[in-house]
Structure 1
Amino acid sequence: MDDGETAPGRRGLGSGTGPATPVELDGSAGEGGGQILRTALSLSLLTGRPFRISRIRANRDRPGLRPQHLAAVGAAARLGDATVEGAGVGSSTLTFRPGPFAPGDLAIDIGTAGSTSLVLHTLYLPIALRADRAVRLSLTGGTFNPKAPSFPFLDRTWRHYLSAIGLDLALAMPSAGFYPQGGGLLEAWIEPTRGLPRGLVAVQRGRLVRISGVAGACKLDRGRVADRMRSRAATRLDEAGLDAGIPVEIDLADWPGPAPGAAIALTAEFDGEAAPASFVGLGERGKPAEVVAEEAVAELLAFLDAPGSGAVDPHSADQLLLPLALAEGRSVFTVGAVTEHLRTNARTIAAFLDRPIAVQEPEDGPGRVIVG
């Protein structure tokens, strides 16, 4: 197969090195965070197209590349035998030129409490669509992060969506990692797909049938922390006036890990098309356990009460765009709140792929996303 030719049955996937002229990206555009870089890395590995990104995270308190971004760049470079320029902490410009794709097992230590989930988001789709065997990733860093998906969200919500569109992976958290120490371990086993992902149609949320969850602590007295989080969450959910008969079941967990931390994850489960929607409250030094629980409950209730009842939660919406942009057939889903992350990811994907993505924001209902 010649360079640039699309593999049979795999829309938009290159076979090795792509065109010499890089895709030009402005890393400060839209949401302006690391998402632009992560999506670009994934698409570069998938299509063989090089890219150059400037003004990386220019609007952040600490602009430029951080260790978790460098971990994603380094891992992508290893998978794609890529040539990289500008890969340093604080760098505002990076050029990435992929070579022949050769996926294999990887062990990556971020070296900080940086998000293991965001590194996984960068790598899973190129591996799933281009590997010829299952690949194991071992990622060391943060597994509970205030500005990134935490492990319970990955396991209960993200993995459900991937399974629905034909992408199979297993996840485990042998060790929990909290800010600022990190040291957690996220393991993923990614199975190669046959062909492309399936399209997704999720326009109706369905009836709420259950709220489940887990309240956990690491190197803390579970009775003083996890029990209190669970108790306050159950009380707040009861006060919220949920429909009679909706069960609330929150487990307790003692997570292994190198440093103290606590979290509670609450998951709303529905009948019909919608996947479970998960929301996480994170503990920190000096923050009462009850406040942690109330934050998770407030986010869950805001989703349940959002006008128009979008089927997809706002955290999942932008994460679904990339696999659906490569999927067979048309995808349509509704979302209660259209975020800047969603808009930014749509623009980044459009820089690499000729695949229509429409993000509609009506005034009197949920947002609607149409891919294809």
Structure 2
Amino acid sequence: MSSTRPSSEPLVTLDGSRGEGGGQILRTALTLSLLTGRPFRVSKIRANRDKPGLRPQHKAAVDAAAMLGRAEVLGCEVGSRDLVFRPGRVEPRDLTIDIGTAGATGMVLQTLHLPLAMRSETARRLTLIGGTFNPKAPPFPFLDRTWRAHLANLGLPVALAMPAAGFYPRGGGRLEAWIEPASPKPWVRTTRGDLTRVRGVAGSANLPDHVAERMRDRALARLADAGLNVDVDIETAAWPSIGQGAAISLAAEHAGTPPATFVGVGERGKPAERVADEAVDELLGFLGVPDAAVDHHSADQILLPLALAEGRSIYTVSAVTEHLRTNALTIRAFLDRPIEVEEPLAEDQPGRVVVG
């Protein structure tokens, strides 16, 4: 990656409808293209979604990656189903990106994080404006409690803040990240310690107080019925926002492993109790696989930094998802790196991922 001119290497070709068929393929491809200098073409972008093609958050991620890597890009318009990306040299800088909609700031953060961390000599600040609570992308509480803790274990320190929450349809949320220069380390964890406590936040923006209180009360009642013999504490919060919205996050804290955070996101017409149920159901599902070191949301997200780390990594997961399988396929298209994804042998047993 010594040249500032776009790469003339053969294109890595990706089928955007394969496997999970969402924005993750594009996110991983952009990250790896910037780090390896390999250009790519992805067709049938998000073919498995209700609104196929690039959405505003994907366009924002491509535009930011192109600016960071002085790339030539074809097909970067909202709705485009075919994209070609030819990177030049990565030139890290502080960035402020306004998605312009309620599109997922978490998706843009995860696209740019590793290129900023691995190619910078000083800490970089990334400011993202858009949605911070999205049902199909990592919401802020998950990023702050779980993703960030996993990154710390891998030697990739990141600090996050959410000065304002952003919900569909108005967006306007603000996610700020401070990314330290670092390279990932391998990680081995095939079990987890005892459950020590559950911490939660039930929050709302520009809604009556009872919305957050009902989410909290429903979650507390469900967890009590499940017979958890640990401290459970769920706070309520009123988030600043230009729009209205509600969400609840529940973090299961186990000795020796990062917390596993599950988030229910409200939407118009969805009762507060149902929002809480979504987070509780995911939490109880995770607790039902006692030997899983990593929750199913984190499983595919830590795979990319571990594939870039020198050395062998092994971790157990509460479920093997299409996101995990698809991310492994996308990474293999760019890197000559063995990745094995082993399916669980029974419902209450974990799957296993071996890298290297």
What TM-score range do you get, normalising by the shorter chain? over 0.9
Report the equivalent of 1:299: 282
Q: For residues 150 and 7 of structure 2, what CA distance do their matches in structure 1 show? A: 30
Give the Cα separation in 1 of the matches to 2:188 and 2:8: 34
CA deviations on 1:194-249 (whole Å, 9 max, x unpaired) are: xx311111111221110001111111122x11112111111111011112xx0001
218, 221, 240: which one pairs with 1:232? 218
Quick one: distance in 1 between partners of 2:9 and 2:259? Answer: 43
Q: Structure 2-normalised TM-score?
A: 0.96
Please state how far the C-alpha of 1:286 moved relative to its aligned partner: 2.2
Match of 1:177 among 153, 158, 166: 166
Check the 8 A contact 1:57/1:63 in 2, yes or no.
yes
8 Å contact 2:90–2:115 — kept in the other structure? Answer: no
Distance 1:346 1:100, change over 3 A: same
Query: 1:17 deviation in Å?
Result: 4.9
Paired position in structure 1 for 2:120: 131
Equivalences, count: 354
Distance 1:335 1:100 in 2: 35
Q: Aligned-residue CA RMSD in angstroms?
A: 1.4
Q: TM-score, normalised by structure 1?
A: 0.92
Counterpart-to-counterpart distance in 2, 1:157 and 1:2:
35
Distance (whole Å) between structure 2 residues aligned to residue 147 and residue 19 of structure 1? 35
Which consecutive unaligned segments of at least 5 residues does structure 2 have? none
1:324 to 287, 290, 306: 306
Q: Is the 8 A contact 1:26 1:54 kept in 2?
A: yes
Deviation at 1:267, TM superposition (A): 0.3
Match of 1:368 among 349, 352, 356: 352
**Which residue of structure 2 lines up, in the alignment, with residue 344 of structure 1?**
326
| Paired position in structure 2 for 1:158 | 147
Amino acid at match of 2:304: L
Distance in 2 (alpha carbons) for counterparts of 1:338 and 1:43: 22
Unpaired segments ≥5 residues, structure 1: 4-14
- The correspondence for 2:258, drawn from 271, 275, 287, is 275
Aligned partners of 2:343, 2:294: CA distance in 1, in Å?
14
Counterpart CA distance in 1 for 2:150 and 2:127 is 22
Q: Distance in 2 between matches of 1:290 and 1:340?
A: 28
Contact 1:16 1:48 in 2 (8 A): no
Aligned equivalents of 1:282 and 1:141: distance in 2?
A: 15
Counterpart code for 1:32: G
- The more displaced of 228-237 and 313-322 is 228-237
Q: CA contact under 8 A between 2:253 and 2:259: conserved in structure 1?
A: yes
1:16–1:101 Cα contact (<8 Å) kept:
no
Deviations 1:20-60 (A, max 9, x none): 21111111111111111110000010011111111111222
Q: Which residue of 2 aligns with 1:187?
A: 176
1:67 is aligned, of 31, 53, 56, to 56
Structure 1 contact 27–56 (Cα < 8 Å) conserved: yes
Query: Does the Cα contact within 8 Å between 2:165 and 2:239 map onto a contact in 1?
Result: yes
Q: Letter of the 1:115 partner, please give it.
A: A
Superposed displacement of residue 19, structure 1 = 4.5
